Amino acid sequence: MDQEAKKRSLRMITYGLYILTAKDGDDVSAGTVNWVSQASFAPPLIMVGVKKDSHLHEIVEKTGHMALSILGSAQKDIAADFFRPTNVEGSQLNGHEFEFSPEYGLPLLTETPAWFEARVTDAVMRGDHTIFVAEVTGAGVRQPDAVPLVMRETGWFYGG
């Protein structure tokens, strides 16, 4: 295989950017992810590629629950704040206000335009990331007119 072509073509896949959160008691984990897609109409399934050796992976695998806060087009700075280790201080997660999701009590960033929480139904464990398939069981929209943040416009890449 032409490695350069593989890299360039995979990097042409279009992604958004999201803050993935999970919680096991007092143990909270949050990170910026881009490998996210809807995967079924009914039931409403999503799939997320989660790094196998991450703390996020450990908690999602253990609890079977996850939440995604969807970043808006002007929220690249928030994405950058979640490449760092998770730090909870009062009502803030890595310096950003959060509240708990209604069903599973997972952190949701209040600044972001929309969110959903989901229950893991399947996990494909192959390679260095696990594909968690999860059913969306709750969702909310705070800013209906918001435009989502697109990975390409950040100049960042993940994989390829």
- As given in the structure block, the two tokens for residue 159 are 């994989």
31 binds ligand FMN (CB under 6 A): yes
* Sheet bearing 88-89, strands edge to edge: 88-89, 92-93, 96-100, 107-109
**Interacting residue with ligand FMN among 21, 22, 28, 32 (CB under 6 A):** 32
Amino acid identity of residue 116, one-letter, is: F
Whole-number Å distance between alpha carbons of 113 and 145: 8
83 sits near ligand FMN (criterion: CB under 6 A)? yes
Judged by CB under 6 A, the residue of 23, 28, 34, 98 near ligand FMN is 34
Does residue number 60 form part of the binding site for ligand FMN (CB under 6 A)?
no
The owner of tokens 């909310």 is: 140
Residues lying near ligand FMN in the complex (CB under 6 A) are found at 29, 31-35, 49-51, 54-56, 82-83, 85, 129, 156, 158
